[in-house]
Structure 1
Amino acid sequence: MLHADLAIAARTFGLPELRRIFDGAGITHVELEVLPWWWTTDERRRVSDQRRTLLLDAAEVLGARTIKVAAEGGGRPVDPARFHDDFDRLATQAGNAGARVALEPMPMTNLSTIQAGVDFVTAVGNRNGGLTVDTWHVHRGGTSYAELERILPVEYLFIVELDDADEQIVGTLWEDTVNARRLPGEGIFDVPAFIAAIHRVGYRGHWGVEIISAEHRKLPVRDGLTRARAASLQALDAAERLVASAG
């Protein structure tokens, strides 16, 4: 659940009622996002701290296991010591709330590859601070699935997200990721092979589908969910066949 929607729910019908809605719908995996600028010292930090409070409070009420956090956009440099220490403090704070934080390496940030993300979270070494790994960011960041298997420590793998895209980037990387994603199987990524690679890493958690698309946003909610579910199940079934044939 995105922070903006979470804030509206909190000030209208309340987070306890949202928890009852989730429980009534049989939703067992709750993830919250997104927290940027947690290492900054300028005006952005004030916004970040307000959002941090919202996300951590909501995590406790909703039973959310993981909060997604962002790195510095545009690949701009950060103070390495502050970036390291503030992530460590953030992860500890999340742990105290019964949650954890998952940093997402993205090709348009200062952690532009999965390797950069792995190097960072393993250097911090906080058991409540790990990674989000997304098919889009793996592919656009130039990481092969073979490399992914080699470098990714499963104990730091907190969130896995599935999606697809066209061969060519549409606009900037940011525009492509927020407007032009496709459902698994509708683009050029080999999503079943990605799933199989993550499985071989040792991941046995749940799988999310993150379809961020101008086209998909136009669909009625029920249609959008139905299509996302069907595409994801098809990719998971294909991956299961890959794993079985390799075993």
Structure 2
Amino acid sequence: ALAERADGFGVNIALEGMSHTNLPTLSAAIDLVRQASHPRAGLALDVDQLVKCGDGDWTRLPGRLAGVPVFVVELGDAPVDPTVALDHGVGPRCLPGEGDLDIPGFIAAMRTAGWDGYWGVEIISDDLRVLPLDVGLRAVRTGIDRLFDVADALAG
């Protein structure tokens, strides 16, 4: 019903699995999108949230996404710490390349899955907030560029 209503406005509804919600895994989000079976219903994939949901096996990602629309892809780095990984919030995050997430592997998997859309960068970080805007933007861009270089090298 929500996707049908969104269609009247020409917008998409992107669902994101998050460990602390009623869509606690990628599988749950995929199932709901498939049940909706509407061209305006798709997925939002956030590398950090996928790891928190236990869905960080990038080798399986292309197969799991087959036939499921993806509308949003977000990159953001974070520490992997057993006490933090179960945090049900969105933090802590860090600048791209300064955390422990396998972002290049995720980029490669999404490319294999056919993703050719925009890549969003989501960083919710007190360290980033205190930087002057131009310095913060350069740091994010430099980190993301490095991660795409590594992903390109992985692809050979």
Aligned counterpart for 1:124 among listed residues 26, 36, 44: 36
Q: Tell me how large the CA RMSD over aligned residues is.
A: 1.7
What is the aligned partner in structure 2 of residue 206 from structure 1?
A: 118
Aligned counterpart for 1:237 among listed residues 130, 149, 156: 149
Give the C-alpha shift of residue 204 in structure 1.
0.7
**For residues 88 and 134 of structure 2, what CA distance do their matches in structure 1 show?**
27
What is the aligned partner in structure 2 of residue 217 from structure 1?
A: 129
- The letter for the 2-side match of 1:126 is H
Give the C-alpha shift of residue 93 in structure 1.
2.1
What is the aligned partner in structure 1 of residue 95 from structure 2?
A: 183
Higher Cα radius of gyration? 1
Is 2:151 aligned against 1:151?
no
Q: Cα 1:136–1:97, aligned 2, differ >3 Å: closer, same or farther?
A: same
What is the aligned partner in structure 2 of residue 21 from structure 1?
A: none
Structure 2 SS opposite 1:119: helix
String of CA shifts for 1:145-200, please: whole Å, max 9, x gaps.
1222221136411100001111214496234x23x112221111111011000111
What is the aligned partner in structure 2 of residue 104 from structure 1?
A: 16
Structure 2 SS opposite 1:146: coil
**For residues 197 and 204 of structure 1, what CA distance do their matches in structure 2 show?**
12
- The letter for the 2-side match of 1:221 is L
String of CA shifts for 1:71-97, please: whole Å, max 9, x gaps.
xxxxxxxxxxxxxxxxxx222222221
Contact 1:130 1:158 (8 Å CA) reproduced: yes
What is the aligned partner in structure 2 of residue 164 from structure 1?
A: 77
**For residues 206 and 154 of structure 1, what CA distance do their matches in structure 2 show?**
19
**For residues 19 and 131 of structure 2, what CA distance do their matches in structure 1 show?**
28
Contact 2:33 2:68 (8 Å CA) reproduced: no
Unpaired segments ≥5 residues, structure 2: none
Contact 1:163 1:183 (8 Å CA) reproduced: yes
**For residues 138 and 234 of structure 1, what CA distance do their matches in structure 2 show?**
21
Structure 2 SS opposite 1:166: coil
Q: Under a length normalisation based on structure 2, what TM-score does the superposition of the two structures give?
A: 0.90
Q: Hey, which of these two has a bigger chunk of helix by percent?
A: 1
**For residues 130 and 171 of structure 1, what CA distance do their matches in structure 2 show?**
25
- The letter for the 2-side match of 1:130 is G
Higher RCO (CA-CA < 8 Å; seq separation 6+): 2
**How many pairs are equivalent?**
154
Deviates more, 1:227-236 or 1:123-132: 227-236
Runs of 4+ in 1 over 4 A off after TM superposition: none
